[in-house]
Each structure stands twice: as structure tokens, then as C-alpha cells.
Structure 1
């Protein structure tokens, strides 16, 4: 059985949903192929459930940071209610709502494993083994996402290790949890499960957390985790793990000779593309590889413009909001080219996803919260930019002091002195994630500092940090 559409989208995650919707709105036909749940990792096993697990602890801490409210707040969270609330957001993996949304938008859904079967062809194998071939008149868009990568630890593949999937969907709080990793997932999940009562140990191979961020960010998170009761062990790597079949207890051995006992081990050391069984070899591409793309999300390894890759799989900016941004640009490019127009990249056009080169906002919901966009000071210097960095304690802003007793936060601007514009920004502290969009606008818009000075922040808000940073710069 073979069906033809203008565009075949392989992967029904956030990027796949957006690109299909935009294509159909433009007058093209599109079909979505999905083997698991429509909505993807983000909706059921990553962004949404992790934030649902983290928010109750943050809300409790926010209330307890204000005298008068502190006295009305219980000492501990109620894990059962936290997990129930998480399940309301995820539907425990039930994608009926999102599948119905596709139908209402006029987008057919084909359930099954999709893989390329040559140029503009996708074979879809259903649960019953039946194969259906979809032919794309215009383009195939690949959005399969990524999957957790496991570190080379002996026995890890035999113990039933947690990845982000188990860490965000577990139905009970482990008494003892060992987390391997020092990145965003490791730090957020250590925060969430410690808040719910688990005894958490974080094994960090490096000497700092979040090594791709400004140093202050990792330092503040390490301080926050320690204050929460997490044991953070820097320079420590797991070498061997084993689970007792009778007690279910896991033993973790480390390279410094220590032995830890726990109930679960979470491996959070990175991700790899889900392209091993995507049929890439049928069009001359290596199986299992990342898929580099241009700014229209066209796969650059092929000369013709029929194959596109959006979201994490192209390795440009592995974040849900950036995947959706790429999807919008990809749909616009396909639409333009279908109409016989070139959709050349390089300018700030709807079909050219350039923001992920200069301004990728990130939000981390640890305690304290972290947010960043653009370049770190180190990255800017390595890029040859004439840099001046400006730092200021958010604690000293009146709005922050009113927001929370003992507010602790940090702000840093990275300025391109030659052009007089902001190229990077980092915030830490309560509400940091709500501050970052202003910096994103300033960077993408290349707003001159002299003009930014006239964007007056309201008093008394935490956003007044912008005035203080510009004053520290000398304006």
C-alpha cells in the first residue's frame, strides 16, 4: 500500500507537530509518522514531567522565604500529591489529546516505525508487522529526536538503570538514589528527588557542574544541592554496578575506591541521535549519525533539497523551544521552494533559522534557578570578540529583597565592545528563568547599549537588575 503526500514527517514530537501544522496551513499536505506517543519525549518523559516534579519544591521554598508565609507552610512535600499532579500533565503517556489535535488540524497520523526507503520514500512498519509506504512529492522531514547515552560502566546495562524516562515517570520515591552526571538532567533530577525525600548522591566526573555554563552557575547549583542535602562528589566516576536479585539493592563502585549502596541509579551523561534504524543508508548517509543541516534545516550531505532534519537530531540546539523554532523555519522553506522560490538562507527570513547560532535561551529549574542565552565570556573570547563582562549581585536589587528574604542571585552580561551590544547573559536565583527573555530580545535584536539604557525596568521588580548591570557597565 502506497500513499502520496507533499511532505512526510517522521517523528511526532513537538518539532514534528509544528512543522506539519505549518505546512498544512500553507496549503500543502503532510502526514506524521510516530511509533510511540504523539508529543514526544518532552511531553511525557522530559521537560513537562520534570518541571512538574520540580515545581512543588520550588513553591514551598518560595513561600518559606517570606516571613509571614513561612509559618503557614508544612515542613515536607507530600510525594503522593506531587506524583499525581505530574500525571495530570502527562496523562501517564496517553497521547489521545495530541493525536486528536493532529486530526483536528487535518494532519493524518500513521502509527508505526518509519524509515527511509530511498529518495522521498518512507516505509512504516506497524505493530502487526504490516508495512505501508509513504511517498513524499516535495520533502521528507526527519524529527526522530534522541535517546539517552549510557556511560561505559560495567554492569550498568544489567541492573535496570534509570535514564530520564524512569526518573520523570517513577511511581515511588527511591530511598537512596545515585545520579551519574553533572549536567542539566542530573542536577534537576537530583533536586526533584531530594525534595521528595530521597537520599541523593551525585557522582560528577569533572570538578564542576554544568561545565558549559558560566562558572558561577555551576557553583551556585552545587551550593544549592548541598544545602538541600544532596551529596555532591566531584572527580568521581562509577566503574561497576551490581543489583542484588533478592534485596534489589544496587552496589556502585567508584574509581576512588568507594562503594555506595542505593535503590536506583540514574545515568544522565548525554544523548545520542535516534538514527540507527532510520534508513539513512538507503540515501547514502551513515546510520546512527547526527544530521547536519543548513539554516533552512535541509540536510547538507545531500545535494538536492528534499531531505530535512529538525530538532535534537541535527545537533544544533537540543531544546524543545529551539526545535519548534526550527520547525517553523523548515516549514516556511519547504513552502517557498514548493512555490518555485529559492528560500535562500543568510538573512533574517522566516525560512532561515539563525537564532540558534547566536541566542539559544536555556532555563534550568534547580534551586537556585539558572537561565542563560548567547555566549559565555570564555566562548566570546575564543570567538575573537573584544569582550567586556559585567557582573552584579541580584541580592542588592530592591525588588529581589522584597521577593524573598535572603534572596541570593547573580547576573552577568557579556558585551561586544566593538559593536556595543550584549552577546551573552546569565542569571541565577529565584525567578531567573523569567528574566532571560529580555536578554534574548536584546541579543537577537542587537540593541545598542545606549538604546537599552532607555528601556526602563519597573520598580520594585527583580527586572531592575538590568538598570544595575548597565550602571555597572558605565552608562
Structure 2
């Protein structure tokens, strides 16, 4: 092993090279260092990646003030104490703090303290176990003794709509970095990003129009989730239009919003309005357009051709996160972790993969035993049917595992239990006029939970218990003994069991020999 204190300029050989220093890449590197390896991490932008500066952290920070204000107004006594409206300038300042004001020096200090060598620049594969790094016009080659891990994440997709690119629309980056609120905002898309930003900008004072190509918001979740979020958006003054999108866009003089990846301070509202021609023939004039129609892996300039793969492709992997070649066989030295592998585009899921990948890389490098059985230490089994997720809209949406439609498609023997969260005693003291819904998907053959979805104020805090039940395959007869505190929203678990019936309380009899 090489000396971890060696400077980046003097050392070009490491046990592991990680391309991409977002939270996923950082975790791969950290786990490998803890396993005894030397690691270099290559980053062309800010250490901490999309989540820290343009996604998870700043978006949730900018959503939080409106959530807190809404919650206070739903509680008599607290409601009367609220004498003003949302302070937009303070909300932006709170956002800036969550994004460390787009300064990654603290992250760089952490890498150094963890014994990880930082190499600034754009990294691409050069050949087997080699990474070429370009920085400030100079190129340097790093070589790995054991493995290279790609954790370059994903980028927003901008649809090929005539005039859209010329109008310089916002993606999540420009939208979260702006410190001005567009008077009129069109959002293209109906998924998580579109729903969260619609909630955010409606609360900040924009006249928001959401253009959803499909039948409703949050189409991959239980139908009632999108319905309740759309209802709340309408109540906040947003216009959610389904079954339509833009067919053409024009903006006189082009836009002034920053291009993707540029300085966040350059993301400003355009002085020139944009006109969208919609697929139903109508037109819509707005000040800014936010594109939230999906993401694709950031693999365009990664040198994939040097290992027999195609530019821009998703890097499919086995469950130990090794990249699969065109024949479906794992490339023994190459790993892909996080959004770039398309398994589950969520930061917490990418970090889960990173823990498995960093550990297994170290084990393979040191000749240890790989635990690659389902739910083993070196696999990402939960990516398949046990992915927890929260949509931080108003109301919140929290989900884990299968939806009813997915279970039916898989031909599982299931029972669907729906429960009105407003009927839970804890909801009446949590907020006046509480509105929400819960759904549980039960495997009737095995007597375990396959999935759960909650919609309502503060339901994100219900999710970890559901995740534990799904991942742990906790038998229903044992869940009867998991007593919810009263009066809390968690009482919905007891109500679910009661809806299933008393028979679920009886443990199965042991088979007789």
C-alpha cells in the first residue's frame, strides 16, 4: 500500500480511484480507506456533488420555511401568533446555509482528514485501471492497483422541444440557486422534482403552472399520492394541467438564466418573457421555464469506449456494483455506484450502495471473503424492492417497497389495506383539519409487509418504521406487539392490523415432524 499522506502531485498510483466526489463517491472512498486501501477521488465541480449544492440539501431547506409556517397555521394558538407572511429573503439565506454558499472547502478538509487524496479535474477512463484527469489545460494519468469506481451521478434531461434550448430554461440547478422569484413560472414534468419545485415556488409567490404529459402527478407512486398533492397545489394557487405539454417555445432575445453547471450566482430571472405553445393548441406566457422531465447518467465524457461500452449509457451492475460488459459479465476492476447505474436515483440509496461497494473493493483487494448472498454485507439487495423515498411536497409523500399496481403486475398474493390518517387519534392534535392517507401492501402467503405509502403532514417520520418492517420481513403477528405510542400518527399501524383481522395476531404453528 502507498503512503496516504503523499501529495496529489507526487503520487499517481493508488489502490482505488473514484471518479466523482459527491456523497456517493465520498462514501465509496471512505469505506475503502477504512478497509486499508489508498484512495484518490477525482472531482471536476464541487466536492459534495449535486445533493449538497443543487438538490437534496438546498431544496429541502427552501421548502422547510413554508412547511413550518403552514404547520403553525393549522394549530389553534400557534395560528394566532403568526402575524406575517413568509420572509422570502430569509428563506433564501437559509437555503444558502444548507448549500454552504456553494463553497466546498469544508468538504475538502473532510477528505483530507479521512485520508482520501483529492485530485481536481475532469476524470475519464483511459484504459484498464487507468484514469486520465484534465485540469487547467494539463492532463495527468492516475493508475489503480485494484479498482476504479465511477460515481459521476446524473444530469437533468432537457426535452427536444423546438425553441426550448434557445429559451435557456432552468433545470433544478438554476431553480434552486436563484435568489429571485419569477412572477410566472412554467414547470415541465409531473414527477418528484416538478412537484417539489411547484410547492416551493407557489409558497415563495410565483404564479406556477405545471404541465404534466401524463394523467397526474407522481405517476410511479400510488394514485392517491399525486391526487392529494395536486389538490394542495391548487389550493396554493398553482395550475396543474394534465395530459399536455409544450410543443414549441419562443423567447425574444433568449433567456438570461445560467447554463447548467455555471456559477449559481448567475441564475437570475429573465427580463424577456417566454411563450409556450401547448399540445392542446393554447399558449402560455411565463417569465421562466423549469424543466423537470427526468435525469440521465453523467457518462457522456467518461471514456467508456476504452472499456468496450458506449458513451452516455447507464452503467448496469451486478449487486456488488461491478459494471457489466456487453455480454452481461462483470468487469472485475470497474464499479459504478449511485445515479450513474440507474438502480435507484436517490442519495440515500446511492450511499447505501457506496458502503457495499467500498467494503467489497477492499475485501477483494486484500483477499478476504466476499459476502454476496442476498442481504449480505457486500450487496445492494434493497435496491430491488425496498427503496424508501420521501417527496417533500405539501402534503409529504413517503413510500417504501411495492405499490398495489406493482404487486399485481408481479402476480403476488396480496391484500391492500387503506386507512384515512385523519381517523387516527393523533392527527386531531397534530393539526386542525388533518388530511392524509395510508396504504399497506400485505403478502398474504407469507404474512409480511411488501410496501407502504403515507401521504399527509409530517408523514416522512413514519417511513423508517415501514422500511424496517419491509426489509426485515417482520411477520404481522409480531407487529401486533409493536405498540404505537398514543396519541401519535403511528397509531395507523395498529389500525392497519385491525383492518386485516384478529387472525394476523396468531403466530404460525411450528410444523410437526
Alpha-carbon deviations, 1:300-324, whole Å to 9, x = none? 2154410000000110011000000
Do residues 184 (structure 1) and 192 (structure 2) align? Answer: yes
For the 8 Å contact 2:373–2:379, the answer to whether it is kept is yes
- Work out the CA distance in 2 between the residues paired with 1:129 and 1:231: 48
Alignment partner, residue 441 of structure 2: 414
Q: Give 2:172's aligned residue.
A: 164
Q: Unaligned 5+ residue runs, structure 2?
A: 1-8, 255-270, 503-513
TM-score by length of 1: 0.98
Distance 1:307 1:324 in 2: 18
State the match for 1:133 in structure 2.
141
Q: SS in structure 2 opposite 1:454?
A: coil
Partner of residue 445 from structure 1, selected from 456, 472, 476: 472
Q: Does 1:424 align with 2:451?
A: yes
Q: Structure 2: how far apart are the matches of 1:168 and 1:472?
A: 43
Q: Distance in 1 between matches of 2:150 and 2:402?
A: 28
| 1:394 is aligned to 2:421 | yes
- In structure 1, the gaps of 5 or more residues are none
Q: What CA distance in whole angstroms lies between the structure 2 residues aligned with 1:172 and 1:382?
A: 45
Q: Deviations over 1:400-450 (max 9, x none)?
A: 110000001100000111111000000000111110110000000000000
1:339 Cα shift? 2.1
Match of 1:309 among 318, 333, 336: 336
| Structure 1 residue aligned with 2:73 | 64
Q: Tell me how far 1:257 sits from its aligned partner.
A: 1.3
Q: CA deviation at 1:470?
A: 0.9
Q: What does residue 299 of structure 2 align with? A: 275
1:146 aligned to 2:154?
yes
Q: Match for residue 295 of structure 1?
A: 319
Q: Which moved more, 1:73-82 or 1:201-210?
A: 73-82
| Partner Cα separation in structure 2 for residue 423 and residue 118 of structure 1 | 43
Deviation at 1:350, TM superposition (A): 1.3
Query: Any idea what SS the aligned residue of 1:294 has?
Result: coil
Which whole-Å CA distance do the structure 2 matches of 1:347 and 1:318 have between them?
21
Contact 2:276/2:284 (<8 A) preserved? yes
| Distance in 1 between residues matched to 2:370 and 2:318, nearest whole Å | 12
After TM superposition, the structure 1 = structure 2 runs for residues 298-447 of structure 1, keeping only pairs within 5 Å, are 298-301=322-325, 303-447=330-474
Cα distance in 1, alignment partners of residues 83 and 157 from structure 2: 39
| C-alpha displacement of 1:384 | 1.7
- Paired residue for 1:120? 129
Please state if 1:217 is matched with 2:241.
no
1:6 aligns with 2:33: no
Question: Which residue does the alignment assign to 1:96?
Answer: 105
Specify the alignment match of 1:175 in structure 2. 183
CA apart distance, 1:347: 3.0
Distance 1:74 1:359 in 2: 43
Aligned mate of 2:242, from 228, 234, 258? 234
CA deviations on 1:15-44 (whole Å, 9 max, x unpaired) are 100111111111111110000000000000
Matched, 1:469 2:493: no
Q: Is the 8 A contact 2:35 2:363 kept in 1?
A: no
**Number of matched residues?**
474
1:286 corresponds to 2:295: no
What secondary structure is seen at the aligned counterpart in 2 of 1:306? strand
> Cα offset for 1:452?
0.8
Summarize the alignment of residues 36-115 of structure 1 with structure 2, pairs less than 5 Å apart.
36-115=45-124
CA distance in 2: counterparts of 1:124 and 1:253, whole angstroms: 44
Q: Report the CA distance between 1:381 and its aligned residue.
A: 1.2
SS state at 1:305 partner? strand
RMSD: 1.2
Q: Distance in 1 between matches of 2:167 and 2:245?
A: 17
Report the counterpart of residue 507 of structure 2 in structure 1: none
Task: Report the 3-state secondary structure (helix = DSSP H, G, I; strand = E; otherwise coil) of the residue aligned with 2:482.
Answer: coil
Moved over 4 A (4+): none
Once the two structures are superposed, residues 155-174 of structure 1 have per-residue CA deviations (whole angstroms, 9 ceiling, x without a partner) of 11111200000111111011
TM-score, with structure 2 as normaliser: 0.91
Equivalent pair of 2:371/2:377 in contact (CA under 8 Å): no
Equivalent position of 2:40 in the other structure: 31
**Whole-angstrom distance in 2 between the partners of 1:74 and 1:89:** 26
Aligned equivalents of 1:303 and 1:441: distance in 2? Answer: 31
Q: For residues 78-135 of structure 1, what are the alpha-carbon distances to aligned partners after superposition, in whole Å with 9 as ceiling and x for unaligned?
A: 1111001100111231111111100111111000000000100000000x21111110
Instruction: Give per-residue Cα distances to partners, 1:37-63, cap 9 Å, x unaligned.
Output: 000000000111110111001000000
Distance 2:370 2:101 in 1: 41
Most deviating of 327-336 and 107-116: 327-336
1:184 & 1:72 partners in 2: Cα distance?
Answer: 33
Task: Give the CA deviation at 1:252.
Answer: 1.0
Paired residues of 2:31 and 2:358 also in contact (CA < 8 A): yes
Separation in 1 of the partners of 2:83 and 2:103? 33
Distance in 1 between residues matched to 2:290 and 2:111, nearest whole Å: 34
**Structure 1 counterpart of 2:258:** none
